[in-house]
Structure formats: structure tokens, C-alpha cells
């Protein structure tokens, strides 16, 4: 893939990794995944020159690719060891999907917007990720067929925790989800324990709405 190994982009990825390290990202596996993943191929050509800035960018269908620092924070919080089964709600561009493919054994990703899913599937394949399965559908109900999951990442904002997702967590599994209204949310981690669910607020964030049966019902 010539564009991915272009020295200009390789240098830009290295500078991004250095900036993430300076910002507090210390998980070496996460940093390595970011350095090896060509973010520029996940964004439209018109904004490709901004691919390695720490900023969110439009990807079409009213959706965005999150800031690299947000992805890095998400992944560092999960502390993945490489053996996990992970569910991603909101494939979007497919960038986070590929990062997860570097960090986990199996990745299951759900997207509700067909054109986004089709494009992401092609790019993920181009990146060589072979441990990813995709589903077109309502992410708020999860993917029960392959549950339980060691980690579930939700890439859109929900007014409340979708109960089907916590039900699909393995014991000790973690759910990361932005919770709040449409304008601002709190990134929240829910951990499944033997007798309860532990909930912890992480940091204020802003995401597009999570649409579906157990999320927002309209855009």
C-alpha cells in the first residue's frame, strides 16, 4: 500500500505518537498500533492533509472520526492484553476498528449506516486486519451471538447505558460509553463484577448521538 508507507505520512504518524506520549498516553501497545495504522486512508481526500492532527474530522453521513487522543485514551483505559474478544459499537471510518485489531484477539464491529460500513470494511481489509467481523444493524442491542465480551467500546453518545450491552459483558469486562445529552457527555466506564456493576466517570467528551432502540430515537 504505497500511500501508507509514504515517508511523509510515516513521519507524521511518528510526530502524532510523540504528541500523544507528551499528553499522557503511556501504553506502548496503543502507541505502536497508532504508529502502524495509516489514519490518512480513513478520511476523505479533502481533509487528508489534516489526518495526523489531533482533531476530529468529517467522514460523511453526518459522522466524524474522533481525535487520535480520544481513541488513545479509550484504548489505554481498557488495558487490553491481546487475548480479548471486543465489541465495537459504531464502526464509523474503521480507524478504531484497526487499532483494536492490533490490540485484541477478536473484534466484532457494528455500524448502522450501510455506506460507512461498506467503505470501512474495504479499508480494514486493505490494512490487513483479519480478526474483524462486521454487522450492519442497531448497535444498542449488541451482538449476542458472540457474547460475552471482555470489552465493549461505544463510539457515540447515549442518554443512558444500553442494558443489552452490559448484559453481554464477560465477568470483569469493561464497557466504555459517552453518557449525557446531545451537546456534551461524560466518558463512563462500567465494569461487570460478580455481584454488581461498577460505574466510574472518566472525562467530559463530545460525540455524535448513539441512535437505536436503547439510545436516541432520532438524529
Q: What is the CATH number of the domain that holds 178?
A: 3.40.50.150
Its pTM stands at: 0.93
Look at residue 132 and tell me whether its pLDDT is greater than 60.
yes
Inside any domain, residue 98: yes
pLDDT 10s digits, 133-162:
999 999 999 999 999 999 999 999 999 999
Q: With bands split at pLDDT 50, 70 and 90, how would you rate the model's confidence at 200?
A: very high
Q: With bands split at pLDDT 50, 70 and 90, how would you rate the model's confidence at 5?
A: very low
Q: What is the pLDDT of residue 8?
A: 64
Catalytic residue numbers, as ranges: 66
Inside any domain, residue 132: yes
Q: Structural domain tally of the chain?
A: 1
Sheet holding 132-136, edge to edge: 132-136, 106-111, 85-89, 149-154, 169-180, 185-192, 197-205
- Point out which residues pair with 135 in neighbouring strands: 110
Q: What is the pLDDT of residue 104?
A: 98
The 10 Å Cβ neighbour count of residue 19 is 15
pLDDT 10s digits, 51-109:
999 999 999 888 889 999 999 999 999 999 999 999 999 999 999 999 999 999 999 99
Inside any domain, residue 16: no
Q: With bands split at pLDDT 50, 70 and 90, how would you rate the model's confidence at 6?
A: low
Inside any domain, residue 158: yes
Inside any domain, residue 161: yes
Question: Cα(67)–Cα(71) distance, rounded to whole angstroms?
Answer: 7
Q: With bands split at pLDDT 50, 70 and 90, how would you rate the model's confidence at 218?
A: confident
Q: Which residue range forms the structural domain that includes residue 94?
A: 61-205
Question: Cα(146)–Cα(159) distance, rounded to whole angstroms?
Answer: 25
Inside any domain, residue 50: no
Inside any domain, residue 25: no
Q: What is the pLDDT of residue 96?
A: 97
The number of helices, as runs of H, and strands, as runs of E, in the chain is 7, 9
Inside any domain, residue 125: yes
Tell me the average pLDDT of the chain.
93
Amino acid at each position: 500500500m504505497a500511500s501508507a508507507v509514504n515517508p511523509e505520512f510515516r513521519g507524521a504518524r511518528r510526530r502524532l505518537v510523540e504528541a500523544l506520549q507528551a499528553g499522557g498516553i503511556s501504553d506502548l501497545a496503543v502507541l505502536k498500533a497508532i504508529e502502524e495504522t495509516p489514519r490518512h486512508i480513513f478520511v476523505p481526500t479533502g481533509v487528508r492533509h489534516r489526518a495526523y492532527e489531533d482533531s476530529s474530522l468529517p467522514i460523511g453521513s453526518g459522522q466524524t472520526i474522533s481525535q487520535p487522543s480520544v481513541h488513545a485514551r479509550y484504548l489505554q483505559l481498557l488495558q487490553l492484553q491481546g487475548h480479548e474478544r471486543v465489541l465495537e459499537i459504531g464502526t464509523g471510518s474503521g480507524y478504531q476498528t484497526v487499532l483494536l485489531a492490533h490490540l485484541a484477539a477478536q473484534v466484532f464491529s457494528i455500524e448502522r449506516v450501510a455506506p460507512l460500513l461498506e467503505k470501512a470494511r474495504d479499508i480494514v481489509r486493505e490494512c490487513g486486519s483479519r480478526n474483524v467481523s462486521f454487522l450492519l444493524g442497531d448497535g444498542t442491542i449488541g451482538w449476542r451471538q458472540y457474547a460475552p465480551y471482555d470489552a465493549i467500546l461505544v463510539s457515540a453518545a447515549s442518554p443512558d447505558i444500553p442494558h443489552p450491552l452490559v448484559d453481554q459483558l464477560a465477568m470483569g469486562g469493561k464497557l466504555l460509553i459517552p453518557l449525557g445529552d446531545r451537546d456534551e457527555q461524560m466518558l463512563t466506564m462500567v465494569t461487570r463484577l460478580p455481584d454488581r456493576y461498577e460505574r466510574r466517570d472518566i472525562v467530559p467528551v463530545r460525540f455524535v448521538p448513539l441512535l437505536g432502540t436503547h439510545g436516541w430515537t432520532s438524529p
